[in-house]
Amino acid sequence: MENIQVAVFGEALIDMISQEHGVFKSLVGGSPFNVCRAISRQNINCLYMSPIANDELGKQIAQMAKCEGIDAPFVGKSNKPTSLAIVTTDDNGLPAYTLYRDNIADFDISAEEVIKNIPDDLALFHTGSLVLVPEKRAFLLQIFEYLQTKNIPISIDINMRKLGTVDTDDYHQTVITLMKYANYLKVSDEDLAILGIESEQQNYCQSLAKTAGISVIALTKGEHGASLISQDFHIDGQGLTPSNFIDTVGAGDTFFASLLSYILRNKLQTQPLTVSSHTLFESALNYAQVGASINISREGCQPPNIDEIKTVASKLNIQI
């Protein structure tokens, strides 16, 4: 492992993926936990800071963390249940989620306890997805304000979901408020459309980066690739679809984890995205897109390691 440490807070859950004949296959998932796994596979120390339930499904998650070399200090901390997601995919392999999130384990912790366990030498704190809800707004703001006092960068993937039990306007406003604390932000074209930004998305991201002081925004656009955007500059990348396409579950998580890992490993966090840093960040974007393309050639979220990404990039003559 490299001498870099990342902390992740957010849901770990069980994805129940629909198969033929009404059968479901269970896989460990949850966007933040997927990011944690993917970063660990990039030879970076990753600390998973959400509680893991003391039930049978929680034990599966804990075993996964152990196998991936993830430090999880709150294993078995909660007697509340593990969250579930029912995942169906359409003919294009695009997933849809039905979430079961009432009174669940990964929310069963205080901000003070999270802060107490944040290492002083942390390189990055990542969160997002299902924790970006109104009931956790004050919780996250307390953590973000602490991180800012320690000059620890924050990455956020908003990863919008349809949450039937949450007031939609309040949910959207919470996401907009919290994402402005990010140093590194990931949004998809679908995320922005849910927030009411359906056109001029790149201009919106550039304006957001300027007003909120966000270093880099990654805008993903499915098969149409992705862009890295700052207040001064943007880089566009083409989508990579493997010949053995399976599904897109965890593709965005793998993309962002690969991007963040590349930035940290190459110390790009000291270089804002400008014209002069174009080549460096173009390589970072290429690296992230190759990582995501490998993931979508596998069922569910199965992020690649460094060697796999380098091998595929070399075969495709992609500069990383």
- Mean pLDDT for 28-45 is 96
In this predicted structure, the answer to whether residue 20 has a pLDDT above a threshold of 90 is no
In this predicted structure, the answer to whether residue 51 has a pLDDT above a threshold of 80 is yes
**High-pLDDT (> 90) share of the chain, %:** 75
* Contact (CB, 8 A) for 13 and 51: no
For tokens 């969250």, name the residue.
83
Name the region of 30 (left: φ>0; alpha: ψ -120 to 50; beta: rest): left
- Mean pLDDT for 1-29 is 89
pTM, whole model, 2 decimals?
A: 0.94
For tokens 């990383």, name the residue.
320
Strand ranges (E), the chain: 2-8, 13-18, 24-29, 44-48, 52-53, 75-78, 83-89, 95-100, 124-128, 154-157, 184-188, 216-220, 226-229, 234-237
- Mean pLDDT for 53-61 is 95
pLDDT digits (tens, 9 = 90+) for 128-180: 999 999 999 999 999 999 999 999 999 999 999 888 678 999 999 999 999 99
In this predicted structure, the answer to whether residue 93 has a pLDDT above a threshold of 80 is no
Q: Which of 218, 154, 202 is nearest to 180 (CA)?
A: 154
Domain extents in the chain: 2-315
- Mean pLDDT for 284-301 is 93
For tokens 């039930």, name the residue.
55
Tell me what the pLDDT averaged over the chain comes to.
93
The segment with the largest mean pLDDT, out of 96-105, 187-196, 262-271, is: 187-196
- When pLDDT is cut at 50, 70 and 90, the band that residue 22 belongs to is confident
2-315 fold: UDP-N-acetylmuramoyl-L-alanine:D-glutamate ligase (3.40.1190)
Order of strands across the sheet that contains 83-89: 24-29, 13-18, 83-89, 95-100
Range of lowest pLDDT (109-113, 139-143, 233-237): 233-237
d(CA 57, CA 41) in angstroms, rounded, equals 23
- When pLDDT is cut at 50, 70 and 90, the band that residue 264 belongs to is very high
d(CA 302, CA 195) in angstroms, rounded, equals 29
Residue 91: the pLDDT is 73
In this predicted structure, the answer to whether residue 315 has a pLDDT above a threshold of 70 is yes
Q: What's the token pair of residue 20?
A: 């033929």
Query: Could you please report the per-residue DSSP string of 75-98?
Result: EEEE-SPPEEEEEEE-TTS-EEEE
d(CA 106, CA 110) in angstroms, rounded, equals 11
Q: What's the token pair of residue 248?
A: 């897109």
